[in-house]
Amino acid sequence: MTQAAPRSAILGTGSAVPATVVTNDDLAKIVDTSDEWITTRTGIKERRVLEGDKAASDLARLASERALEDAGLDVADLDAIIVGTCTADYQFPSLACVLEAKLGARDVFSFDVNAACSGFLNALSVSDMFIRSGRVRNALVVGSDVLSRFLDWQDRSTCILFGDGAGAAVVGVSDDDDRGILSSRLQTDGSYAETLYIRAGGSKKPATQETVENREHSIFMNGKEVFKVAVRSMEEISRRVLDDAELCVDDVSLVVPHQANRRIITALAARLSIPMEKVIVNVHKYGNTSAASIPVALDEVRREGRIADGDIVLLNAFGAGFAWGAAVIRF
Ligand code: ACO
C-alpha cells in the first residue's frame, strides 16, 4: 500500500522591520514629490529603512527567531533554511548560509531563491515540495530584502516605492491532512528581464567608476508595464491555484497579496471579485518590501487573530523577472 505524501503547513510566523521611519514628507525634502502624489498613486504613507550598520541577515534573524518561537520549535528542529531575497548581504555566499550561522543552526542545508518580490512564494513552494517528498520535516522559509540599499535617492519614480523588512514562516509536516498548503504555482516570463532590473554589478556589467557615476547600481523600472502585467498575471495564477485546490473565489477567507502598491491590490481584488474587507493591505506602513511583504503581512494578521482555524488564505505575488506565483493554504 502506498502512503499518501504528507501535507506541509505553516507552524509559526515572525517578522521584523527596521525602527527608522521615512515618511512621504521626508522624501519630499530630497526629491520633487509630495505626500499627495505618493498617496494617490501608491497608497504608501511611510516606509522603514535599515540602519547603516545592519544587513538583510539581521532582519532575517529577528524574523526567524520570532517564527521559531511562535511555532514552539528550536533551531535544532530545522532541516532546511530557504530564503527568498534579491538583496543578500553578499553576492555570495547566500543569505541563507549567513542566517544559518547567525541562528546557530547545524545539520541543515540552506540556500537562497532569487525571484525578487516573489521570493517568499518561491521559497514556500520549494519547502512544500521538500516536505511532501519526505526529505524535510521542518523548514525555515524567509523573505528578507533591503531594497533601500539599491535605490537611486534622486529618482523620484522609484525611491518612493520601496522599504526594508523580513518575514519568516516555519513550515513543517501538517498533523491534519485537511490543513496546510493545498496548492501552489510559480511562473516566470524572462522576456521582461529588463523592464525591472539593476543594470550593473552583475557579470554582464561589473562595477566600474563609470557604472557608479551613471547610477547604474540602483533599480530601473518601467512602472506602467509592471502595473499592467502584474494585475493580469496575479489574477490568472490565483484562479489556477484555487482550481488546483478545487476551491472557488467565494471560498477564500483572506487574501494576503504582495504589497507593491494599493492600486495594484485593489485592481486585483476587483478582477477576482473579492471584497476589499477580505484583502490585507499594509503597504501604507512599509512600502514595497519585496520578498518580505507577504510574510510580514501574514505574520501581522495571524498575530491580530484575523485567521481562524479552517480559514482559506490566498497568497499571491509578482515581481522582477517577471516572476509571479500564488498559494492556497487552509489554516
Ligand atoms: N512624485 C511626483 N511626480 C512623479 C513621481 C513622484 N514620486 N514619480 C513620477 N512622477 C511624475 C512623472 O514624472 C510623470 O510626469 P510627466 O507626466 O510630467 O512626465 C507623472 O508623474 C506620471 O508618471 P507615471 O510614471 O505615468 O505615473 P503612474 O501613474 O504610472 O504611476 C507608478 C507611477 C506609481 C510607479 C505606477 O506606474 C506603478 O505603481 N507601477 C507599478 C510599479 C511597482 O509597483 N513596482 C514595484 C516593483 S514590482 C512589484 O513589486 C509588483
Q: What is the pLDDT of residues 241-275, one digit of tens each?
A: 999 999 999 999 999 999 999 999 999 999 999 99
Residue among 261, 288, 293 to mutate when testing ligand 1 (max atoms within 8 A of CB): 261
The percent helix, strand, coil of the chain (3-state, each to 5) is 40, 25, 35
Closest CA to 122 of 66, 40, 60, 185: 185
For the chain, give me the number of helices (H) and strands (E)?
11, 13
156 ligand 1 Cβ < 6 A: yes
Average the pLDDT over 18-32 and give the result: 98
Number of other CB atoms surrounding residue 240 within 10 Å: 14
Which of ligand 1's atoms lies nearest the C-alpha of 230?
51
Q: How far is the CA of 280 from the centre of ligand 1 (A)?
A: 23
Q: How far is it, in rounded angstroms, from Cα 251 to Cα 255?
A: 11
For the chain, the distance separating the N- and C-terminal CA atoms, rounded to the nearest angstrom, is 29
Q: State how far the Cα of 71 lies from the Cα of 172, in Å rounded to an integer.
A: 10
Q: For residue 261, which of 35, 42, 46 has the smallest C-alpha distance?
A: 42
Which one, of 265, 248, 264, lies nearest residue 256 by Cα? Answer: 265
**Residue 269 C-alpha to ligand 1 middle, in angstroms?**
21
In sequence order, what are the beta bridge partners of 82?
Answer: 111, 141
For ligand 1, pick from 224, 233, 259 the residue to mutate: most ligand atoms within 8 Å of CB: 224
Cell numbers placing 128: 512544500
Question: Is the pLDDT assigned to residue 2 strictly greater than 70?
Answer: no
Structure confidence at residue 278 as a pLDDT band (50, 70, 90): very high
Pocket test for ligand 1, best of 147, 226, 235, 264 (most atoms within 8 A of CB): 226
Region of poorest pLDDT, from 4-8, 15-19, 108-112, 113-117? 4-8
Q: Reply yes or no on whether the pLDDT at 309 is more than 90.
A: yes
Question: Which pLDDT score, from 0 to 100, does residue 110 have?
Answer: 98
Pinpoint the alpha helices (H) of the chain.
24-28, 35-42, 56-71, 95-103, 119-133, 156-159, 209-213, 223-244, 262-272, 283-286, 293-303
Angle between helices 56-71 and 293-303 (to 10 degrees): 30
150 lines ligand 1 (CB under 6 A): no
Distance from chain centroid for Cα 225: 20
Which atom belonging to ligand 1 lies closest to the Cα atom of 159?
7
Phi and psi angles of residue 199, each rounded to the nearest 5 degrees, phi first = -65, -40
Tell me the average pLDDT of the chain: 97
Closest CA to 166 of 50, 254, 253, 257: 50
Q: Which are the contacts of 180, defined by CB distance < 8 A and separation ≥ 6? A: 7, 8, 9, 10, 174, 329, 330
Task: Check if 39 has its Cβ closer than 6 Å to any atom of ligand 1.
Answer: no
Span 51-83, pLDDT tens digits: 999 999 999 999 999 999 999 999 999 999 999
Confidence of residue 3 (pLDDT cuts 50, 70, 90): low
Is the confidence at residue 6, as pLDDT, over 90?
Answer: no
For residue 1, pLDDT beyond 60: no
- List, by residue number, the catalytic residues: 117, 258, 288
Q: Determine what percent of the chain is predicted with pLDDT higher than 70.
A: 99
Cα 262 to ligand 1 centre (Å) = 13
Burial of 157 (0-12, 13-18, 19+ CB in 10 A): middle
Spatial contact of 143 and 81, defined as CB atoms under 8 Å apart: no
Q: Which amino acid belongs to residue 317? A: A
Take atom 29 of ligand 1 and give the residue whose Cα is closest. 41
33 CB less than 6 Å from ligand 1?
yes
Q: How far apart are CA 7 and CA 132, in angstroms?
A: 6
- Whether 230 lines ligand 1, by a CB cut-off of 6 Å, is yes
